[in-house]
Structure 1
Amino acid sequence: MSAPSPVTEFTERIKPHTLSLFRIVTGLLFACHGASSLFGILGGAMGKGLTVPAGSWPGWYAAVIQFVGGLLVMLGLGTRAAALISSGSMAYAYFSVHAGESLWPLQNGGELSVLFCWAFLLLVFTGPGTWSLDHLFFRSRQPADAAAGVQREPSAA
C-alpha cells in the first residue's frame, strides 16, 4: 500500500473546515432569500422591494423555511434536520413551480432550487463540519476514542 500523496493529505486535513465554510455560505445565501421575501430587504420579493403576504401559501411558508433554515444551517445548529427540511422545500419548489414549464432547470429557471436542494441534501449526510454550534454543544456525546482523535484499524475478518 503506497503512502497518500501530499495533496491528498492536505485535502483530508482541511476537509472539515471546507465543509464548514460550504455550510456557512450556503446557509447565508438561503437565509438572504428568505429575508428578502419576508422583510423586503436585499431587493425584496422577486426583486421588486415587496414582501410576501403573511400566511400566503406557499410563498410565505417557503420564505420562513428559507430564513430560519438558512440561519440554522449557517450557525450549524440542528444542521441535519434544518438541511433536510430546506432540501425538501427546494424540491417542492422545483417540481411545483419550475418543472411544469420544461424539463431542464436551465430552461425553466429552476437552477437555484436544484442547487439548494442538492447542497442541503449533501449537508444532511455530511453533517455540519467542525465550525458549528452542533459540534460545540454536542461533541461531548461522542465516544471517547472519537473525541481524542483515535482511529481504529479495521479488523481482518
Structure 2
Amino acid sequence: MSTHKYAGPIWSLFRIVVGLLFTLNGTVTVFGVLGAAGKHAAPLGQWPGWWAGLIQLVCGLFVLAGLFTTPAAIVASGSMAYAYLTVHQPQALLPTQNGGASAALYCWAFLAIAVLGAGPWSLDAAFRRDARTKDLVTSS
C-alpha cells in the first residue's frame, strides 16, 4: 500500500463503505427490508437468489467490521464474478449493456480488499495489535 499518510484510513473507509453497501443488498434479498418499494425477500433457500443474499449479508458484515476480511472478501468477489458471468454476461458483453456494472465493481473491489487487507481500522488489525502486545508482555 502507498506510504501516503492517509492511505491506511482511506483504505479502511473504502472497505467499510463497500462492506456496508454489500450488507444492505443482502438485507434486501434475505429479509425484504431497506430496499426499494415493492422489493420483497427471496423465498427461503431459493437458488441462487436467497443464497446470494445470504453471502452478501454475511460477507458484507465481515468486510464491514474488518473481521476475517480476506476470506470474506474472496467469497464475496467470487459470488459477484459468478453473478456477472451467469446472470449478466449472457445478456450482452459489456456491463453498460447487461446491467452488470455493480456486480463487476463489487467483484473487483472485493478482490482488491482480499489482496490488500482490511486496513488499520479493522478488527483484524486490532486483534493483531493485541496479539503483539501479549507477545511483548510474555517475552519480557
TM-score, length-scaled by structure 1: 0.80
Measured in 2, the distance between the counterparts of 1:141 and 1:96 equals 42
- Who is 1:31 aligned against? 23
- Who is 1:110 aligned against? 100
Cα offset, 1:140, TM superposition? 4.5
Measured in 2, the distance between the counterparts of 1:49 and 1:97 equals 19
Identify the match of residue 122 of structure 1 among 108, 112, 130: 112
Measured in 1, the distance between the counterparts of 2:97 and 2:116 equals 30
Counterpart code for 2:20: L
Aligned to 2:5, what secondary structure does the other structure show?
A: helix
CA RMSD of aligned residues (A): 2.0
Gaps of 5+ in 2: 133-140
Measured in 1, the distance between the counterparts of 2:68 and 2:35 equals 29
Alignment of 1:6-25 (within 5 A): 12-25=4-17
Counterpart code for 1:133: L
Q: Does 1:42 align with 2:34?
A: yes
Larger-gyration structure (1/2) = 1
TM-superposition CA deviations, 1:9-45 (whole Å, max 9, x none): 9x7111010000000000000000000111111226x
Alignment of 1:2-151 (within 5 A): 12-43=4-35, 48-141=38-131
Identity within the alignment, %: 49
Deviates more, 1:85-94 or 1:48-57: 48-57
Aligned to 1:107, what secondary structure does the other structure show?
A: helix
Aligned to 2:38, what secondary structure does the other structure show?
A: coil
Higher relative contact order (CA 8 A, sep 6+): 2
Measured in 1, the distance between the counterparts of 2:127 and 2:51 equals 29
Q: How many equivalent pairs are there?
A: 133
Measured in 2, the distance between the counterparts of 1:125 and 1:140 equals 23
TM-superposition CA deviations, 1:47-82 (whole Å, max 9, x none): 523110111100011000000100100000000000
Gaps of 5+ in 1: 1-8, 143-157
